[in-house]
Structure 1
Amino acid sequence: MGILSRTSYVIRSKVNSLLNRAEDPTETLDYSYEKMRDELQQVKQGIADLTTQKKRLEIQKRRLEENVEKHNDQAREAVQQDREDLARKALEKKQAKMSQIEELETQIASLQETQDQLVNKKDELQSRIEEFRTKKETMKARYEAAEASSRVSEAMTGVGDEMADVGRALERAEEQTDEMEARSAAMDELMDSGAFDDALSDKDSIERELEAGRTSAEVDTELGTLKAEMGKSSGSSSSKSASASDADVDVETDVADEKVEAELEELKNEDDSSSS
């Protein structure tokens, strides 16, 4: 098989496959039924035309028969008038008309035979068309029922084209949702680790640690100062209130310690908030 033959064969098979997929059996049946009806109409039209031609020949035959009678009368009258020559001419015309009548009768008989054959074929074709119409409607009903059943089955099993598209859409939505959840978790993890703060700040990690050390030293210094001040105030108060009982001194010391602890706690909270 040559290249052109193989190419032509492949193209025809591809086209045939596409046509098979695109073909709707119900539409094909309807189209075939309409074509058969068109053919029946053409047969009827042919019978009508043939009948018209036959009627024309019959009319022509009747006119010739009338002329035959006329020529007979002419021949009789010519004989009565002793005009044998005229009688001969009339009889010659009569014979010519008789010959034409015989030819017309032959043609009319042939047309009648053809007409009878066409009528029989028309009746047979019409019977076949009615039979085809019954089969067509039955086949269409079966096909539509099978198609509906197939669609229901495909919808229930999820193997149809539309259901497959829905399944793919659900898969894509699930993948996108998983990706967004993973991205959100990653963003939260980066925020908790301070990576975003480092990226948005101009300071590097060393400078941040040094700042934290300076802040801690400042806090320690201030804390020492507060302790010293609190110690002096405790000493002066004890000299002024020497007459107070030992229990009162202990209570005041506890109160001072609580204030110091409260101030230390407040300083630590401020330090933590400034570091964050």
Structure 2
Amino acid sequence: MSIFSRLSDIVNANINAILARAEDPRKIIRLIIQEMEDTLVEVRSSAVQTLAERREIERRVAAALRDESEWERKAELALSRDREDLARGALQARAHAAKMRGTLEDQLSEINRGLAQQNDDIAKLQNKLADAKSREKALVSRTNIASSRVRLRERIYDERMNDAFSRFEQVERNLDELEGRADSFDLGRRTLEDELAGLEADATVDSDLDALKRKLRQRAGGDPASGNASGGGRSLASPEDAQS
């Protein structure tokens, strides 16, 4: 079974259990990283055992090769002494050693393929673990922000909060009424500032009225259509001039 299939089974089982209990999403993030770290340690430990097994098989292959060479030497020696029967036996022993070496070499090839796959899986798992750790802070930060928003919304829409604001509004209405009662005592009373302001307003109106009178006199005195010559006819007098 691939380590990723096994890891997926473990993580999914634990995540489903956490989701069923509606637990904090940060626990899921930490769980995934923890499972990856534990799996990486386990796979490395398994790789160490496989490497030890490979070294053992390599030693046995080397011993089988030495046996082959030794039996061949003995077969040559037997033939040199005209002992064909011994030479035949030595060759049979060499063939047995060669067969054993072939079996060991097949095992060694299988182990090497497994180690290559393990090495590839470990590299992939290390990359995924590094990526998970780099994203953990961002995910935890998003989770904290979301949790804070939920708590804030819960407080905003809490009935106790609404009651508190209703009391604030009642206090404001009471204060408005109190200020209105205080202002009512000043109704109909003219202060010194009010009287001075009235005098200033009257003075401004009088000044504007005098200016308007002068303008009308100047217009009447210099208008040819009025039937008066320049400097000869009787000028139009204002009611104030007639009284004087």
Q: TM-score, normalised by structure 2?
A: 0.53
Aligned to 1:34: 34
State the match for 1:88 in structure 2.
88
Q: Corresponding residue for 1:44? A: 44
Unpaired stretches in structure 2, ≥5 consecutive residues: 1-16, 168-244
Q: Secondary structure at the match of 1:55?
A: helix
Over residues 184-207 of structure 1, what are the superposed CA-to-partner deviations in whole Å (9 max), with x where a residue is unaligned? xxxxxxxxxxxxxxxxxxxxxxxx
Q: Secondary structure at the match of 2:48?
A: helix
Describe how 1:111-260 pairs up with structure 2 within 5 A. Answer: 111-151=111-151, 157=156, 159=158, 164=160
Q: What are the residue-to-residue correspondences of 1:48-59 with 2, within 5 Å?
A: 48-59=48-59
Distance 1:16 1:121, change over 3 A: closer
One-letter amino acid of the structure 2 residue matched with residue 35 of structure 1 = E
Give the whole-Å Cα distance in 2 for the aligned partners of 1:121 and 1:71: 43
Matched with 1:106 is 106
Quote how far apart the aligned CAs of 1:35 are: 1.0
Partners of 1:71 and 1:18 in 2: CA distance:
69
Choose between structure 1 and 2: higher helix proportion.
1
Residue 164 of structure 1: how far off its partner (Å): 4.6
Aligned to 1:10: none
Distance of 1:17 and 1:53 partners within structure 2: 42
State the distance in 2 between where 1:152 and 1:145 align.
Answer: 10
Query: Which 4+ residue blocks in structure 1 deviate beyond 6 angstroms?
Result: 15-18
Counterpart residue type for residue 19 of structure 1: R
Is 2:71–2:91's contact at 8 Å kept on the other side of the alignment? yes
Match of 1:226 in 2: none
Asked if the contact 2:78–2:84 (Cα under 8 Å) also holds between the matched residues in 1, the reply is yes
In 1, Cα distance between equivalents of 2:147 and 2:136: 16
Contact 2:18–2:28 (CA under 8 A) maintained in structure 1: no
What is the root-mean-square deviation of aligned Cα atoms in Å? 2.8
Q: What's the CA shift string for 1:42-95, capped at 9, x where partnerless?
A: 221222222222221111111111111111221122122221111111111001
Gaps of 5+ in 1: 1-14, 172-276
- Give the counterpart letter for 1:69 in structure 2: S
Number of aligned residue pairs: give it.
148
| Superposition deviation, residue 107 in structure 1 | 1.1
Instruction: Report sequence identity in percent.
Output: 20
User: CA 1:149/1:67 → structure 2, altered by over 3 Å: closer, same or farther?
Assistant: same
SS at the partner of 2:39?
Answer: helix
Taking structure 1 as the reference length, what is the TM-score of the superposition?
Answer: 0.48
**Match of 1:19?**
21
